Amino acid sequence: MSDFNLNAFSQAVADLAAKATPALASFATHHHRTASAFHWSDGYFVTAEEAVEAGEEIELTLASGGTVKAELIGRDPSTGVALLKPADAAGAPVLAKADAVRPGNIAIAIGNSQGSALAVSGSVGEVGPAWRSMRGGTIDRRIHLAVGAGGRFEGGPVLDAKGALIGMLLFGPRGRALVMPYETIERAVATLREKGHVARGYLGAGLHPVRDRDAHGAMVMSLDDAGPAKAAGLSLGDIIVAWNGEAVHGPRDLIRRLGPDSAGASVTLGVVRGGEQRDVTLTIGEKPLS
């Protein structure tokens, strides 16, 4: 007979969640639902960027049930991280950082809903190398979860079997649960504390996908008069088919390349104009704040 004690395991998972709960908070989003947040360090909380809007009033409900006004310090759409600064975060602990995780390791997602603790356990479903988000952010590790967490968990921490922080829970396409690794959060928080935003690359061109026999890429449909694309000589109807010699498969592929590390970089775009291919060199701008 196995010595495994299911009840002891169950209580251990609940104890790990309870120990981390004082670091949690929640708030009502502009989507009229509840999202979670957690204390990162120095009185700053992090949450899901998708859950907050610039200029909106944010009131955090802490784990104690008390409420406190919070300022939105900044958002980074490329990593999905938003940084909040409540008027008072006294007593909120900082979660220890986890070691590397592997597929099959236990994962515990925790959250807060108007002062009520939320917790669900599952496992790490996939671990992969660094990847680039659809908005051009460099994500340190690909971590997908086999965890049945609802929307109220979004922006909350994901813990390992020691109760240490793997990262923040977000939802990808088709509602798939994924983790924004703590290394990525750390970079985003440092920039948001310093600048209030994370720069993104900017072409200044409206694009449309093209897929035909002659060209496969992103067609220029509009141009910002003050943007880098027009300054470099791109014209309406040009089809961008390459970036520094690498094929561009459409607007989404191009946008992925316009991450924070692209602003200020000089790139050579392969362009098809009137059936002829040419190279256009330009300096990527910084996306205006709006």
Cα 11 to Cα 5: distance, rounded to the nearest angstrom: 10
With bands split at pLDDT 50, 70 and 90, how would you rate the model's confidence at 290?
Answer: low
Q: How many residues does the chain have?
A: 290
Average pLDDT for the chain: 93
Cβ–Cβ < 8 Å for 267, 242: no
In the chain, where does the domain assigned CATH 2.30.42.10 lie? 201-286
| Greater pLDDT, 263 or 155 | 155
β-partners of residue 139 are 131
With bands split at pLDDT 50, 70 and 90, how would you rate the model's confidence at 221?
Answer: very high
- What's the fold here for domain 1-198? Thrombin, subunit H (2.40.10)
- What's the fold here for domain 201-286? Pdz3 Domain (2.30.42)
Mean pLDDT of the 179-203 span:
94
Instruction: Count CB-CB contacts under 10 A for residue 37.
Output: 32
List C-alpha distances in Å: 82 to 65, 74, 154, 155, 222.
22, 6, 12, 9, 31
With bands split at pLDDT 50, 70 and 90, how would you rate the model's confidence at 31?
Answer: confident
Residue 275 has pLDDT above 60, yes or no: yes
Instruction: Report pTM.
Output: 0.86
In the chain, where does the domain assigned CATH 2.40.10.120 lie? 1-198
- pLDDT tens for 225-235 read 999 999 999 99
